[in-house]
């Protein structure tokens, strides 16, 4: 079996296990998703979703964030952790949106990654969920599971992204990564993965190695 054939089987199994997938971050606009994704760094989506309603009620546009005191932003986002850095990045990001993009979130990865606090992972989340454009989101789940399944040997997220782009059809990029995230939260956890109940057990070299087979 080639690696592409293996990836196809993995996609089929995951699509059966998780037929309907979407980002777990709540948002109404591309800007809200951008801010929420920045806040989600080292924070759960559930916790971000607890914070953003009050945040967006008070500050709803890039211009609002530009005009707000940094202390106000910090207070509103404090429960997401690392709030000093996140507040600075979101405010600077908002300034760049106002000054370079007329207050609109751009819809290309080349432009998105120019924004403060926005790497390829965040950019791909926004592209996929807000604009419906294909992107490979390499978060901790996607990186861990891709290595365990033997779809990549790389540690660097950008190299993992490139490896997955070569194996997964472009139209399936968004859904595949979301399914890996669902799968990582439910079964293939960082600690104590549920290998015995895993639908990908027979395709997984990590499970075989762990069981001594």
Domain limits for position 201: 3-21+136-211
139 is catalytic: yes
Q: 89 and 41 share a domain?
A: yes
Where does the pLDDT of residue 209 fall: very low under 50, low under 70, confident under 90, or very high at 90 and above? confident
Q: 44 and 117 share a domain?
A: yes
Q: Is the dihedral of CA 200, 205, 211, 213 positive or negative?
A: positive
176 pLDDT higher than 80: yes
175 pLDDT higher than 80: yes
Mean pLDDT of 85-90: 98
Angle among Cα 128, 57, 120 to the nearest 5 degrees reads 25
Look at residue 211 in the predicted model and tell me its pLDDT: 62
68: three-class secondary structure by DSSP: coil
Task: Give burial (CB, 10 Å; 0-12/13-18/19+) of 72.
Answer: middle
Distance of CA 70 to the CA centre of its chain: 26
Q: 141 and 127 share a domain?
A: no
Tokens of 54: 């009050």
Mean pLDDT of 46-63: 98
- Give the pLDDT confidence of 11-32 residue by residue, as tens digits: 999 999 999 999 999 999 999 9
* Tokens 């591309």 -> residue: 30
- CA atoms of 165 and 144, how far apart (whole Å): 16
Mean pLDDT of 96-118: 97
Q: What is the CATH number of the domain that holds 144?
A: 1.10.1670.10
Look at residue 207 in the predicted model and tell me its pLDDT: 85
Based on its alpha-carbon atoms, the radius of gyration of the chain, rounded to whole angstroms, reads 18
DSSP state of 147: H
Q: 115 and 158 share a domain?
A: no
What pTM did the predictor assign?
0.93
Catalytic residue among 104, 121, 133, 209: 121
* Tokens 């109940």 -> residue: 197
Look at residue 109 in the predicted model and tell me its pLDDT: 96
121 pLDDT higher than 60: yes
- Looking at the structure of the chain, the number of domains it has is 2
- Give the pLDDT confidence of 126-155 residue by residue, as tens digits: 999 999 999 999 999 999 999 999 999 999
Q: 45 and 108 share a domain?
A: yes
* Tokens 């799968």 -> residue: 183
* Tokens 């070299």 -> residue: 205
156 is catalytic: no
Catalytic residue among 64, 86, 107, 139: 139
Where does the pLDDT of residue 212 fall: very low under 50, low under 70, confident under 90, or very high at 90 and above? low
- CA atoms of 148 and 40, how far apart (whole Å): 24
What percent of the chain stands above pLDDT 90?
Answer: 96
Mean pLDDT of 86-100: 98
């Amino acid at each position: 079996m080639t690696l592409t054939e293996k990836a196809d089987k993995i996609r089929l199994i995951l699509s059966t296990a998780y037929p309907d997938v979407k980002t777990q971050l709540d948002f109404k606009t591309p800007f809200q998703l951008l801010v929420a994704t920045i806040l989600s760094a080292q924070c759960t989506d559930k916790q971000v979703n607890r914070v953003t309603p009050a945040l967006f009620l008070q500050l709803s546009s890039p211009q609002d964030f530009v005009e707000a005191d940094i202390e106000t932003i910090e207070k509103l986002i404090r429960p997401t952790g690392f709030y000093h850095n996140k507040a600075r990045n979101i405010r600077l990001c908002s300034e760049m949106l106002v000054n370079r993009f007329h207050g609109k979130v751009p819809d290309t990865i080349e432009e998105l990654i120019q924004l403060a606090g926005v790497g390829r992972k965040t950019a791909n989340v926004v592209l996929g969920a807000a604009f419906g454009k294909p992107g490979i989101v390499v978060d901790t789940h996607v990186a861990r599971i891709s290595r365990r399944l033997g779809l990549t040997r790389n540690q660097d997220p950008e190299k993992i992204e490139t490896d997955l782009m070569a194996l997964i059809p472009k139209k399936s990029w968004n859904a595949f990564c979301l399914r890996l995230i669902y799968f990582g939260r439910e079964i293939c956890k960082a600690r104590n993965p549920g290998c015995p109940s895993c639908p990908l057990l027979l395709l997984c070299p990590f499970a075989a190695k762990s069981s001594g087979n």
